[in-house]
Amino acid sequence: MAEYYNLIKYFHYLAFISWMAVLFYQPRLYVYHAEHMDKPDFVKVVEVQEYKMYHYVGWVSIIGTFLTGILILVAIPDLLKSGYVHVKLAVVVLLAIYHLDLGRYMKLLREKRCNKSGMFFRAYNEVPTIAMVIIIWMMVYKPF
């Protein structure tokens, strides 16, 4: 499996970048949704975008990220002996929880049961940025 490491890593990067795009953009859609609740035609368009982004891009990319990540660890099991990989994996688990929470907010917004403001979603939108900074730091500098 080690001979396929670079190919697996290539697909892992593609999936991860796609997933991060969803994690960056989905809360932005929620900002538009929360701030334009008084415009039902606009909200319907945003709801379609939210649904397609979350289900068609988000789930495909998170599954691709996890599957290729597992394949990388199967190909190079010694990676699990490195502390930086444990930090990276912990942050990825937090991102997965964040991803699921975005799905919860999408449902609440659609049902008009979400009382969060556009300002909340603007702040919530910073979570994946912080996670990305940590993950890239771990992968480049391997501090542990």
- pLDDT in the model for residue 72: 96
User: What percent of the chain is modeled with pLDDT above 90?
Assistant: 98
Instruction: Give DSSP secondary structure letters for 49-115.
Output: HHHHIIIIIIHHHHHHHHHHHHHHHHH-GGGGGSHHHHHHHHHHHHHHHHHHHHHHHHHHHHTT---
Give 18's pLDDT tier (boundaries 50, 70, 90): very high
Give 141's pLDDT tier (boundaries 50, 70, 90): very high
Q: pTM of this prediction?
A: 0.95
Mean local confidence (pLDDT), 39-68: 98
- pLDDT in the model for residue 144: 86
- pLDDT in the model for residue 54: 98
Rounded to 5°, angle at Cα 100 from 87 and 91:
5
Contact 58, 27 (CB under 8 A): no
